[in-house]
A and B are shown apart, each in its own frame.
Chain A
Amino acid sequence: MRFLSFLAVAVALGCSSAPSKNNAAARQDAAIEANRRGEAYVRHGELENAARSYGEALRLSQSLEDPDGIAANAVNLSIVRQRQGRFADARSSLAAVLDQPNLRFAPLRLAEVSLRHALLELDQDRFPEAEGWLSRSSAYCAERCALSAAIHNTRAQLALRARRVDEAAAAARAAHDAARAAGDPAEQANALRLLGIAALQGGDAVKARAQLEQALALDREIGAPRKIALDLLALGRAAALAGERDAARAYYARALAVSEADRDAIGAAQARAMLDAATGK
């Protein structure tokens, strides 16, 4: 009899299941699902679908007042909109974080959003605004955070645009150290590319080629075709600076092939223009 009772309890425990999820958990799952869908669309280059999915994920996160979800999806949406060239939409997506004083966002998220704002301003050649957002991002990031390398690299780009080569090189070096310490090969490659471009602007072709070759190796390892094309174009300029015209043409032709294979019309046009200029067409 005791054995039967024990058996009955065991069967009852075995048949029992976890309590069903409540509505909030279901909405959270739906938000994560939409977030992952957006990521898959970005991977396949379907930007409009990606924007729709991230918009849905952002709406669901807002309905739950989930600060982390709101920030993550706002940043993702702004990246997609920037790639589409829809800057106003990109900015308005970031407002979901910046215009919410009642929600407590993590400093790293605020740094991320400010950096995204700075990159948007930089993309539209609004340098003072970009500097302002970069300072805010840097303040949120404190002395060192996961975004340190990206912040230094953006600062280096701003300095390069203002022809402050030494300042750009210093910022790129800081970015390189930060990226290496954080194990972030993408930003490490960006820093090396900026160091190469700074060396080019300083007229040092040998140094530029050394830095750009390292950036190219990293970008190949990561598998970033647009960055590979940028590295090859810069290497072409370095070869041209050293007076090696055939090598420069070869680099431009490689950049053109990479951009065409990646269906990057802007990159391909840029590479074609440089190739034509090098061949004297």
Chain B
Amino acid sequence: MSEKRSDHDKLADRFAPPRRFRGIRSRVNTFLLTAVIGFAGLLGLIAYKQGMFLQHTNVYFHAPDATGINKGTAVRLHGVPVGSVRDIELAERGVRVRMGINSEYISRLPRGAQARLTREGYVGAASIQILPGTSTTDRSAVAEGDEIRFIAQKGMADMLDEVRQQLTPAFAELRKVASEMADPNSDFRRSVSALRTTLEELPPATRELRELVREADSTMVTLGRQAESVGSRGEAALEAVARIGAQASEHLPVLAAKLAGTLDSLDAAAAEVRETARANGDALHELLTQAPELMRGSGELVRDTRDLTAAARRSWLLRDYVEPSQMRTLPVDSFESFGKR
């Protein structure tokens, strides 16, 4: 018996778990329970962060294009996240977007509010910005299922087109003016030619005037001498005349000299004007010669810019952000003729 007992003890000792594994089951269970509780807590935290425990109100808007709007896109009011985009569905004229707005903030969203798509910087994440409207719009709070207006952003193509449309008439005017200036038969060129001719004729005219004054001077001197000779033989009255003639002959050369000096100054000024005009004329001529070339260059530049813009719009970097060119229809206004009657 004691031998059997001894064998049993031996077997028990052989198959008994080692002392270090004693209570392992409860430890494993504790570990698994902790892991499950931790995982559930993590799920709960994520759900809380995603706002699943918050009550949301569905508000809608229509947009012509859903580019940049995705499910989960944040909705912000004054920069504060107040909800997110829940659903996007195709509608008659674009898309109908459903936003889930945190009911806590719903009282701050009036019916006259407007939504628009914004980005944080040029490459930042997109979000829907809510503009609360003005004092003149409907100030009552939105309710479940209400629709607010969406303000579509202008695309880069629109902005480029506007700039181009505003610049094109200016370039056309500039080209017209330059071609007119370059035309030898234009009023401007004829005026410049006439001015130049006038300036060139000014020095000979001045010389002729000077000659005339000199001749007048000599005539007066001769006349004075003759009056003096006549006065010596004439009566007293004629002597007085002779004296007057002599005085006149004394004063006239001084006047004539002064006049000659003035004419010299005029001549110098005219020469200077002519020189300046010639220099300016040359510069103007140079400019006029280059103007058509410049305008052609400008035209080329405009065409190149247009091509570059078109190429850039087709490039992978921009094509997703640029709207394709298409025909535009003026808005059909039901009040087109109202008030004219």
A residues apposed to B, CB below 8 Å: 18, 29, 31-32, 35-37, 39-40, 42, 57, 61, 68-69, 71-73, 75-76, 79, 82-83, 112, 115-116, 119, 122-123, 125, 144-147, 149-151, 153-154, 157, 175, 180-183, 185-187, 190, 193, 213-214, 217, 220-221, 226-227, 229-230, 233, 266-267, 270
Contact = CB atoms under 8 A, between A and B. Distances in A.
Q: Contact size class for B?
A: 20 to 34
Interface stretch (B197-205, B214-222, B238-246, B327-335): B327-335
Contacts of A115: 332, 334
Can you list the 7 inter-chain pairs with the closest CB atoms, starting with the nearest?
A: A123-B337, A217-B136, A153-B334, A40-B165, A72-B327, A150-B334, A72-B329
22 contacts: A36-B328, A39-B165, A40-B165, A42-B330, A75-B332, A76-B330, A79-B336, A83-B336, A119-B332, A122-B337, A123-B340, A146-B93, A147-B332, A157-B335, A182-B62, A186-B331, A186-B333, A213-B136, A220-B136, A227-B335, A233-B339, A266-B340
Interface string B311-332: 1001000000000011111111
Given A57-B327, A75-B329, A146-B92, A217 B149 contact: no
Contacts of A125: 341
B137 interface: yes
B104 interface: no
Nearest to B111: A180
Contacts of B328: 35-36, 39, 72
Given A146-B93, A217-B136, A82 B337 contact: yes
A270 B93 contact: no
A9 to B, nearest CB: 20
Contact of A116 (B62, B93, B332): B332
Given A146-B92, A181-B62, A36 B165 contact: yes
A112 B330 CA distance: 11
Main secondary structure of the interface of B (DSSP, over half): loop
Nearest to B147: A181
Contacts of B134: 217, 221
A168 B178 CA distance: 58
Contacts of A37: 165, 168
A39 B334 CA distance: 19
Nearest to A233: B339
A119 B334 contact: yes
B147 A153 contact: no
A108 to B, nearest CB: 9
Interface of B: 61-62, 92-93, 134, 136-137, 147, 149-150, 161, 165-166, 168, 311, 314, 325-341
B327 A180 contact: no
Given A181-B62, A185-B149, A157 B334 contact: yes
Contact of A230 (B136, B166, B336, B338): B338
A144 B330 contact: no
A221 B314 CA distance: 35
Given A32-B325, A226-B339, A79 B93 contact: no
A123 B336 contact: yes
Main secondary structure of the interface of A (DSSP, over half): helix
B338 A157 contact: yes
A13 B61 CA distance: 45
Contacts of A266: 339-340
Contact of A145 (B92, B136, B333): B92
Given A157-B338, A183-B61, A226-B339, A31 B327 contact: yes
Contacts of B341: 123, 125
Contacts of B93: 146, 182
Contact of B330 (A68, A75, A183, A270): A75
Nearest to B329: A72
B330 A39 contact: yes
A37 B169 CA distance: 10
A97 B168 CA distance: 31
A26 B165 CA distance: 19
Nearest to A150: B334
Nearest to B150: A183
B340 A190 contact: no
Contacts of A153: 334-335
Contact of B161 (A36, A116, A123): A36
Contacts of A193: 335
A116 B334 CA distance: 9
Contacts of A149: 334
Contacts of A147: 332
Nearest to B137: A217
A31 B165 CA distance: 15
B333 A150 contact: yes
With most chain B CB atoms within 10 A of its CB, the pick from A35, A57, A112, A183 is A183
A230 B149 contact: no
Given A18-B314, A182-B62, A183-B150, A82 B327 contact: no
A146 B258 CA distance: 90
A267 B326 contact: no
A119 B339 contact: no
B338 to A, nearest CB: 7
Given A39-B165, A40-B165, 7 more contacts: A31-B327, A36-B161, A72-B328, A153-B334, A182-B93, A221-B134, A230-B338
A115 B329 CA distance: 14
Nearest to B339: A230
Contacts of B330: 39, 42, 75-76, 79
A112 B332 contact: yes
Contacts of A79: 330, 332, 336
A187 B334 contact: yes
A69 B336 contact: no
